[in-house]
Amino acid sequence: MSKTWLITGASSGLGRLMTERLLARGDRVVATLRRQGVLDELQQIHGERLTLLTLDLTDVSRIREATREAFTRMGRVDVVVSNAGYGLFGAAEELSDEQIDHQIATNLTGSIQLIRAALPHLRAQGGGRIVQVSSEGGQKAYPNFSLYHATKWGIEGFIESTAQEVAPFGIDFILVEPGPTATDFATGLVRGESMEAYDATPAGDVRRAVADGSFEIKGDAARTVDAMIAAADEPAPPLRLALGSSAYEGIKQALEARLQALETQRDVAYSADVD
């Protein structure tokens, strides 16, 4: 049976690939993008099965309008894919206030408001699924990505709580956590003003690795999208879905290190209880 999807950030990267895959198999897609015209050729091919809406996630009122329009025009949306976002690159001290505000408004606040806008419609139709594109960077961290990580760790906490609130309504979530993947993510990085003080630090090491191409990227975009769609088709998918060997190994190591550190603090933790 065909499904109807709402996908943000569909003009490029994983969002575009997912839109193409879903249309090719006969599903209906409402695709949002910031610039008109990017997917016109795709719409000519697939006609009414592709609906295009303009949306900038920093515009909260437009998020609500576009979400309402998607559900109204389609009658039902089975899967909402919160995919739009970008990376802010630089040591925390190197970033401007404006860059920080925009990163949070897009990746975190925008994703939160999209989910909040979709929930009443999903409740009214008796359930549905929300797929949030997070990152391995929602559970581990690299130098030079502090604000990007802040948004990904933040959206994971928001969803882990919200998922418990709306489960009785038949609404569930998938947090997709890809590792570094061959998309245009790196070219879309917004960069802070590099400071010489950080040249000989881990932040400088990462900066050079990204610049010279030695920052390892193992993930395949097409396979990542296929795995996302397969998970969204499952009757009972996992809350978190790590994709790529880098994501699996990186998240595993981060969780093991945190658990090991926690276990050393058991006595101190228990000592803070009321007698």
> Where are the strands (E) in 34-72, listed by range?
50-54
Catalytic residue among 111, 152, 198, 246: 152
Of 16, 8, 49, the closest CA to residue 32 belongs to: 8
Is 148 assigned a catalytic role? yes
> Where are the strands (E) in the chain, listed by range?
4-7, 28-33, 50-54, 79-82, 88-89, 128-133, 171-178, 190-191, 240-243
Of 77, 175, 173, the closest CA to residue 133 belongs to: 175
Catalytic residue among 11, 82, 111, 134: 134
Residue 209 vs residues 70, 121, 247: alpha-carbon distances, Å: 41, 44, 18
Number of neighbours of residue 127 by Cβ within 10 angstroms: 14
The answer to whether the Cα torsion of 188, 85, 179, 232 is positive or negative is negative
**What is the SS3 assignment for 7?**
strand
What is the radius of gyration, based on Cα positions, of the chain? 20
Residues with Cβ < 8 Å from 146, sequence gap 6 or more? 91, 92
Catalytic residue among 111, 140, 146, 148: 148
Number of neighbours of residue 37 by Cβ within 10 angstroms: 9
Hey, which residues are catalytic here? 134, 148, 152
